[in-house]
């Protein structure tokens, strides 16, 4: 079956604009994660969805960031009023279970804020 | 505060040589530790997952060790290949309700011919 897909693959935007990033997890995976990776830095956890439980938003860097997930399917990460510091690769991963389950990563969305 | 530190930050080795990457963590309570390989421009790929009771786990030429007492892990790569050039990321999950993940900064490995 298909893996995790993300769109767009690349996004260039102007400072101050809003952007929306999409993640389609593997069908049947209850857990979904969003990460950010700035150039030359390690992965940074953003948010975690597990089934119908309230998401863990503790990694979101500011209130400009928000994410939604419809049931156990697609998720969108929205960044409002983008800043140049938001430039990074945004990675989505899904897992069939919480905790120990292997995470399957998408190819990422490369965001550049000019 | 939970932390994961990796060393070295970067490493250059010759093809065919072995190398060992280190990961020290302060995450508590501990649930599991993963090593990921991430090629440039790609998403991370899981290499190994270890729980508290596991000391060693292998995946081909990759062998991970875990010492839960000293909170240290290592990733040993045997007979390196050019395709091993990548970032290797250590990720520790805690055992609280949220199963938070704490990431190391990664070790950037370059294998030269």
Q: What are B74-98's pLDDT values in tens digits?
A: 999 999 999 999 989 898 887 775 5
Tracing tokens 């209850």 back to the chain, one arrives at A30
pLDDT beyond 70 at B19? yes
Cα separation values, B80 from A102, B14, B19, B77, B85, Å: 25, 8, 8, 6, 9
- On chain A, the residues whose CB falls within 8 A of the CB of B45 are 105
3-state DSSP percent of chain B in helix, strand and coil, to 5: 5, 60, 40
Residues A32, A36, A41, CA angle at the centre, nearest 5°? 140
Spacing of C-alpha A63 from chain mean position: 15
Residue B100 pLDDT class (50, 70, 90 cuts) = low
Residue A101 pLDDT class (50, 70, 90 cuts) = low
Element (H, E) at B32: strand B30-38
Cβ–Cβ below 8 Å for A58 and B104: no
- On chain A, the residues whose CB falls within 8 A of the CB of B31 are 99-100
The fraction of chain B above a pLDDT of 90, given in percent, is: 57
Residue A67 pLDDT class (50, 70, 90 cuts) = very high
* Confidence at residue A58, expressed as pLDDT on a 0 to 100 scale: 81
Cβ–Cβ below 8 Å for A44 and B103: yes
The two structure tokens encoding residue A79 = 């960044």
* Confidence at residue B101, expressed as pLDDT on a 0 to 100 scale: 72
Å between A54 CA and nearest CA of chain B: 10
Å between A57 CA and nearest CA of chain B: 10
* Confidence at residue A84, expressed as pLDDT on a 0 to 100 scale: 96
Positive or negative, the Cα torsion across B106, B10, B19, B27? negative
Cβ–Cβ below 8 Å for A100 and B103: no
* Confidence at residue B7, expressed as pLDDT on a 0 to 100 scale: 95
Bigger pLDDT: A39 vs A76: A76
* Confidence at residue B99, expressed as pLDDT on a 0 to 100 scale: 60
Query: How many CB atoms are located within 10 Å of the residue A20 CB?
Result: 14
Cβ–Cβ below 8 Å for A100 and B93: yes
Cβ neighbours of residue A71 under 8 Å, at least 6 residues apart? A52
Nearest CA in chain B to A98: B99
């Amino acid at each position: 079956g298909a893996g995790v897909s993300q769109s767009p693959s690349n996004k260039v935007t102007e400072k101050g604009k809003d952007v929306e990033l999409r993640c389609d997890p593997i069908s049947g995976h209850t857990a979904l994660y969003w990460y950010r990776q700035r150039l030359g830095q390690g992965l940074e956890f953003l948010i975690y969805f597990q089934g119908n439980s309230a998401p863990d938003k503790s990694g979101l860097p500011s209130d400009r960031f928000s994410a939604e997930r419809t049931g156990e399917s697609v998720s969108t990460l929205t960044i409002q009023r983008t800043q140049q510091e938001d430039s990074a690769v945004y990675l989505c991963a899904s897992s069939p279970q919480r905790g120990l389950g292997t995470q399957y990563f998408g190819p990422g969305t490369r965001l550049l804020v000019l | 505060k939970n932390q994961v530190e990796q060393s070295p930050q970067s490493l250059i080795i010759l093809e065919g040589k072995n190398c060992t990457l280190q990961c020290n963590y302060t995450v508590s309570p501990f649930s599991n530790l993963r090593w990921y390989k991430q090629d440039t421009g790609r998403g991370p790929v899981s290499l190994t997952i270890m729980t508290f009771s596991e000391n060693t786990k292998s995946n081909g030429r990759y062998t991970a060790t875990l010492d839960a007492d000293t909170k240290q892990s290592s990733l040993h790569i045997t007979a390196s290949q050019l395709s091993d050039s990548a970032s290797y990321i250590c990720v520790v999950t805690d055992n609280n309700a949220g199963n938070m993940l704490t990431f190391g900064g990664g070790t950037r490995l370059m294998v030269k011919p």
